[in-house]
């Protein structure tokens, strides 16, 4: 049985995107072993674990959607002439390498969604195989992960949200099947995505251990510990798609859809979350959090992310990618963070270092022994502060802005009274705060920022936020 389950997990990932005819279809063999996988709670857990394994692939959040492709779109890294990165810098979407990269991302996201849907298509009929609370936990997680992937597809391949009728129509896929899925309108896509998140939050709000335990307690379960679960599967809630991750994703989604009131409401739920002793559930990292464990990615801020146990093995490869031309890191950090030398994100030999006469980002650097630091952040508390500052009432926004800046050691600063100037200030902070995490392009696209606003982009580049639909998918999505 274990062998059958393993084979099924692999087969579920084999979706054909090689031709229009095969869009979002699966090999017939895939469906044969599915029932065996979903006969037990363990099978559902294995299937969900497989989702996370897919998400941390290089095509998705292991590289393209975080460190590389998304960062090349905002000219973050040094590139060779005529390389894929160079063409992404200049928004040259006709380049074959760029098109292949986009096709890979597009197909990989929908493969993840298909496998999530396979779980959701079976989970209700097998509700009786779960111990108390596990059905709600797994279903909530799947619904929110489906929304997460769909939102990133929309943000990347969809229209600029302030002009939603111009651009690609994408399918919001909710079932595992071999039938081609037609693209839907921006409003329908929005409705389906927000419903998934509402349903996910409702399922998790009474059962998620993160509501009653701190991140530290969840990371260290066991006998005589504060958190001793009957099932250690629940210990992973500190990083997986937990209740607060759902609320954070709602904040991100509502901001994209232009609902500032709801974005602020959801962001504040995460910001204001407290542990039983009154301390913050997620706290803004300070310089002290970098030491002594070399926690350069500030895991205390992670609401949702991916654990990559092999991240340290890729250090050399990753550090060779995450570099700039500047021979002295101090020159680069002064340009990005200002010349005061106070901002913890730009301090010498912490996040940015000079390596082989190049400025290199050490955010993802870890050692083999760093068992709890091998995390790729996908939602962090600092983003919730930026969302709340942009969308909240003036007094509350100022208070949160000052708290955010104080954590970064740059002190309080009055927010602009003008809404557009305030938004511009916040958008530029995304660039500083989330460098190497794949979020800056989305921030610029959301406000249709001019090329002059994109730090380090060539002034000669013609910004284009409307990515083409991958050619292998166009016919089916236009039906």
Structure confidence by residue, pLDDT tens digits, 431-448: 999 999 999 999 999 999
- Tokens for 257, please give them: 């859809």
Q: What angle do CA 393, 395, 400 make, to 5 degrees?
A: 90
| Cβ-contact 479, 453 below 8 angstroms | no
Among 2-6, 424-428, 467-471, the range scoring the smallest mean pLDDT is 2-6
For range 304-310, the mean pLDDT: 94
Question: How far, in Å, CA of 25 to CA of 22, rounded?
Answer: 5
Question: How far, in Å, CA of 134 to CA of 237, rounded?
Answer: 12
For range 160-178, the mean pLDDT: 95
Q: Is residue 32 part of a domain?
A: yes
- Tokens for 159, please give them: 């229209």
| 311 plus 389 within the same structural domain | yes
Q: Is residue 403 part of a domain?
A: yes
Question: How far, in Å, CA of 469 to CA of 61, rounded?
Answer: 20
Which pLDDT score is estimated for 34? Answer: 66
| 368 plus 441 within the same structural domain | yes
| 280 plus 199 within the same structural domain | no
Question: How far, in Å, CA of 80 to CA of 67, rounded?
Answer: 17
| Predicted confidence band of residue 321 (pLDDT cuts 50, 70, 90) | confident
Which pLDDT score is estimated for 453? Answer: 97
- The total number of structural domains in the chain stands at 2
Residue 14 has pLDDT above 60, yes or no: no
Dihedral (C-alpha) 28, 30, 33, 38: value to the nearest 10 degrees? -130
Q: Is residue 339 part of a domain?
A: no
| Predicted confidence band of residue 472 (pLDDT cuts 50, 70, 90) | low
Q: Is residue 256 part of a domain?
A: no
More confident residue, 476 or 57: 57
Q: Is residue 312 part of a domain?
A: yes
Q: Is residue 245 part of a domain?
A: no
| 304 plus 411 within the same structural domain | yes
| Cβ-contact 312, 367 below 8 angstroms | yes
CATH code for the domain in which residue 50 is found: 1.25.40.390
- Tokens for 347, please give them: 């301090």
Distances (CA, A) of 3 to 29, 37, 53: 15, 10, 18
Q: Which of 174, 192, 207 is the last residue of a domain?
A: 207
| 60 plus 196 within the same structural domain | yes
Please, what is the average pLDDT of the chain?
Answer: 90
Helix intervals (H) in 206-314: 215-219, 243-256, 260-271, 287-290
Q: Which of 207, 222, 244 is the last residue of a domain?
A: 207
Residue 7 has pLDDT above 80, yes or no: no
Write out pLDDT tens, residues 179-225: 889 999 999 999 999 999 999 999 999 999 999 999 999 999 999 99
| 177 plus 88 within the same structural domain | yes
49: exposed, middle or buried (C-beta count within 10 Å: 0-12, 13-18, 19+)?
middle
More confident residue, 107 or 341: 107
| 76 plus 146 within the same structural domain | yes
Phi/psi zone of residue 237: left (φ > 0), alpha (ψ -120 to 50 degrees), beta? Answer: alpha
For range 318-340, the mean pLDDT: 90
| 268 plus 132 within the same structural domain | no
Which pLDDT score is estimated for 6? Answer: 34
CATH code for the domain in which residue 429 is found: 1.25.40
Question: How far, in Å, CA of 85 to CA of 69, rounded?
Answer: 7
Question: How far, in Å, CA of 159 to CA of 264, rounded?
Answer: 23
Q: Residue 5 belongs to what H/E stretch? A: helix 2-12
| 174 plus 277 within the same structural domain | no
| 3 plus 120 within the same structural domain | yes
Residue 428 has pLDDT above 70, yes or no: yes
Q: Is residue 239 part of a domain?
A: no
More confident residue, 1 or 292: 292
Nearest to 387 by CA among 364, 375, 404: 404
| 93 plus 197 within the same structural domain | yes
- Tokens for 319, please give them: 């550090």
Kind of pairing between the strands at 358-361 and 302-307:
unpaired
Write out pLDDT tens, residues 100-157: 999 999 999 999 999 999 999 999 999 999 999 999 999 999 999 999 999 999 999 9
| Cβ-contact 113, 150 below 8 angstroms | yes
Q: Is residue 234 part of a domain?
A: no
Q: Which of 141, 176, 207 is the last residue of a domain?
A: 207
Nearest to 196 by CA among 180, 173, 170: 173
| 42 plus 165 within the same structural domain | yes
Nearest to 26 by CA among 13, 37, 7, 35: 13
- DSSP symbol at 243: H
Coil, strand or helix at 17: coil
- DSSP symbol at 142: H
Structural domain containing residue 79: 1-207
Which pLDDT score is estimated for 460? Answer: 93
């Amino acid at each position: 049985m274990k062998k059958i389950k393993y084979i099924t997990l692999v087969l579920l990932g084999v979706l054909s995107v090689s031709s229009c005819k095969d869009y979002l279809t699966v090999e017939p063999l895939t469906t044969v072993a599915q029932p065996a996988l979903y006969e037990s709670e363990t099978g559902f857990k294995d299937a969900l674990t497989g989702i996370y394994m897919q998400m941390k692939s290089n095509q998705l959040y292991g590289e393209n959607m975080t460190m590389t492709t998304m960062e090349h779109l905002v000219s973050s890294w040094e590139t060779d002439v005529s390389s894929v990165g160079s063409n992404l810098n200049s928004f040259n979407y006709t380049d074959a390498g760029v098109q292949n990269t986009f096709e890979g991302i597009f197909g990989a996201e929908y493969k993840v969604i298909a496998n999530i849907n396979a779980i959701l298509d079976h989970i209700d009929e097998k509700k009786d195989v779960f111990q108390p609370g596990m059905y709600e936990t797994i279903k909530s997680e799947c619904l929110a992960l489906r929304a997460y992937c769909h939102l990133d597809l929309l943000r990347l391949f969809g229209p600029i949200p302030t002009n939603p009728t111009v651009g690609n129509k994408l399918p919001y896929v909710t079932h595992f099947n071999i039938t081609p899925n037609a693209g839907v309108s921006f409003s329908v896509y929005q409705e389906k995505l927000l419903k998934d998140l509402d349903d996910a939050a409702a399922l998790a709000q009474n059962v998620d251990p993160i509501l009653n335990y701190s991140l530290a307690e969840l990371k260290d379960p066991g006998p005589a510990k504060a958190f001793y679960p009957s099932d250690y599967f629940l210990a992973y809630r500190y990083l997986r798609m937990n209740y607060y991750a759902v609320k954070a994703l709602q904040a991100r989604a509502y901001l994209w859809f232009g609902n500032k009131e709801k974005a602020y409401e959801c962001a504040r739920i995460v910001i204001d979350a407290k542990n039983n002793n009154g301390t913050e559930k997620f706290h803004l990292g300070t310089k002290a959090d970098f030491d002594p464990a070399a926690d350069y990615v500030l895991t205390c801020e992670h609401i949702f992310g991916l654990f990559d146990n092999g991240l340290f093995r890729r250090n050399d490869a990753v550090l060779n990618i995450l570099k700039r031309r500047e021979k002295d890191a101090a020159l680069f950090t002064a340009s990005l963070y200002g010349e005061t030398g106070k901002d913890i994100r730009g301090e010498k030999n912490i996040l940015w270092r000079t390596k082989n006469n190049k400025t290199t980002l050490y955010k993802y650097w870890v050692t083999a022994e760093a068992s709890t630091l091998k995390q790729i952040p996908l939602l962090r508390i600092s983003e919730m502060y930026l969302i709340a500052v942009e969308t909240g009432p003036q007094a509350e926004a100022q208070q949160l802005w000052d708290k955010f800046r104080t954590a970064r050691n740059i002190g309080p600063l009055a927010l602009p009274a003008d809404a557009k100037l305030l938004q511009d200030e916040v958008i530029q902070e995304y660039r500083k705060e989330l460098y190497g995490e794949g979020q800056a392009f989305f921030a610029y696209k959301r406000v249709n920022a001019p090329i002059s606003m994109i730090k380090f982009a060539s002034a000669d580049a013609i910004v284009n936020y409307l990515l083409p639909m991958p050619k292998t998918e166009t016919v089916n999505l236009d039906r």
